[in-house]
Amino acid sequence: MNLKELQEQKEGPCFERKSIMMEPKALAVPLVAFANADGGTIAVGINDAGEIEGINGHERQVNELLRVPFYFCKPTVKVDFEYVSCKDRKGSPNRVLVLNVRQSQNVHATQADEVFYRVGDKSKRLTFDERMQLLYDKGDRFYEDTPVAGATTDDLDLKLVKAYTKRIGYSKPPLTYLRENNGFLMEVQGLEKVSVVAVLLFGKAPQNYFPRARVRFIRYEGTDEKTGAQMNVIKDVSFEGTILEMVRKAIAFVSTQIKEHTYLGKGGLFVTDSEYPEFVRQEIIVNAVAHRDYSIKGTDIQIKMFDGRLVVESPGTLPGLVRLNTMRKVHFSRNPKIAAFLKDYGFVKEFGEGVDRMCKELKESGLPDPEYQVESFMLRCTVKAADVGSVRSLAEQTTLTPRGPSGPESGPESGPESILQKSLASLRSRDLSKAELAVALGHKSISGKLKLRIRQMLDSGLIEWTLPDKPNSRLQKYRLTAKGRGLLGKS
């Protein structure tokens, strides 16, 4: 800020003026408050009315004020300072001391062990609960590491632990893994305690301890959320279980609720135009589950679908140094162990890339960036839908019949329409395994091309597994969905 701005700027979340005659230890309050919030600037030598008192002649006082970040703040607050030359209210040459307080990832307190946070133009002293919440948000402590009162190892499903250790290549018994890794089990006053993250990842019934640790899907008719006599909820489904179960169920269910248009494009490959790119709708759900504040027990994650937009609301504000304008570049995990677990299961590719990749995929689809809002203790993400109707009209202009060197291709599957018809018609009367489907289509073996076609039909919602919870079972078969039967009926 220049001198005029220092005089005229209204005091607020990131700016305050102080007299040079202030008690040095009193400076610790705004220093701590700014560091705990978004950082800020303190102009010393200008009174509340904007009159320049200056600091010349008060060198000992200035020296005491510069010592405050080190001697009256715990831990030390990082401050950059500079002097701005000016004329004071008497017209004499003088200076103003400008302290630029850096935003901190730690929680700072005064010498009296009081924690302050900047709210508007005031430095608010936090209660014990608010202080603990700030510790979780900053990552000084992680709620996922907190012991769960009353929980024992009997509340954990060791089969789930074994499945995970097998996935990450850990060969020791499940209980050994829990006791030796990530603080899943801990000793408190000679007793073995189970952590929050252990219950959420491996619990037999996590909702027994965290009733609102669930994902709720709500479909509204129209574009607005109405209540009372005008309530417009047309679908309301909740998903419970472990973190992995909730993620899988929610992603799968949302995929059944969006508008899609499936058609055969060039080369005989299925093309599906969707309201929301697959990665985007998966990422906003995974982010909500991975980064929600599980210490907030009064509400759940809510996925709200309206005409034209998808909204995901997750309990908790932005954690650490993440802010609305830095979300694409700054990464901070409120629940690092949950995030690492989901990464091991393939739901997180690289830490910190999710929001940036969502923006890129939405741009490729001609859609705006996701909109994020923080209201009270909720983080809301809104994604606008593509108009699949307009996409469909373009798709219908696509040439469907691929051509060989001398005209249309011939053979048992002489065109994309035949490929689709034969694939679906083979499943009309009965469910088929992958090998049985290969025979029905005239293939000698299960080729890579057949696997790709099955994957495309699954992703398009034309067929489904008969054993959806066991995708790799040797007894797995495929059957037509209502969508597949409808498309077969039109062919």
Per-residue model confidence (pLDDT) at position 311 = 96
Per-residue model confidence (pLDDT) at position 328 = 64
* Residue 201, strand partner residues: none
CB 84 within 8 A of CB 96: yes
CA distance 344 to 201: 13
From start to end of 360-472, where are the E strands?
Answer: 371-375, 378-384, 403-404, 407-408, 463-465
Q: 63 — phi, psi (to 5°)?
A: -60, -40
CA distance 369 to 355: 9
Q: 38 — phi, psi (to 5°)?
A: -110, 20
The amino acid present at 411, given as its one-letter code, is G
Sign of CA dihedral 320, 324, 29, 60: positive
Q: Considering the entire predicted model, what is its pTM?
A: 0.61
Which one, of 335, 297, 314, lies nearest residue 129 by Cα? 297
Per-residue model confidence (pLDDT) at position 414 = 41
Architecture of domain 401-490: Orthogonal Bundle (1.10)
Per-residue model confidence (pLDDT) at position 263 = 63
Which one, of 126, 125, 112, 28, lies nearest residue 77 by Cα? 28
Per-residue model confidence (pLDDT) at position 93 = 95
DSSP, residue by residue, 161-229? HHHHHHHHT--S-HHHHHHHSTTSEEEETTEEEEBHHHHHHHBSSGGGT-TT-SEEEEEESSSS---GG
Q: Where are the domains of the chain?
A: 3-126, 143-208, 215-390, 401-490
CB 54 within 8 A of CB 45: yes
CA distance 287 to 308: 21
Q: What is the DSSP letter of 377?
A: T
- Supply 282's token pair: 């998966």
Architecture of domain 3-126: 2-Layer Sandwich (3.30)
- Supply 25's token pair: 């230890």
Per-residue model confidence (pLDDT) at position 269 = 60
Residue 194 neighbours by CB distance under 10 Å:
24
Per-residue model confidence (pLDDT) at position 348 = 76
Over its length of 491 residues, how does the chain's per-residue pLDDT go in tens digits? 788 888 888 899 899 999 999 999 999 999 999 998 888 999 999 988 888 999 999 999 999 999 999 999 999 999 999 999 999 999 999 999 999 999 888 899 999 999 999 988 999 999 988 888 788 777 667 889 999 999 999 999 999 999 999 999 999 999 999 999 989 999 888 899 999 999 999 999 999 999 999 999 999 999 999 988 889 999 999 999 999 999 999 999 998 898 876 666 655 566 667 889 889 999 999 999 998 999 988 899 999 999 999 999 999 877 655 666 666 665 667 888 999 999 899 887 655 577 888 888 888 888 899 999 988 789 999 999 987 644 333 333 333 333 333 333 333 344 444 566 777 888 888 899 988 888 888 877 887 777 777 877 887 788 899 988 887 788 899 999 888 887 776 55
- 292: helix, coil or strand? coil
Q: Does domain 215-390 have CATH number 3.40.50.1820?
A: no
Which one, of 131, 156, 123, lies nearest residue 28 by Cα? 123
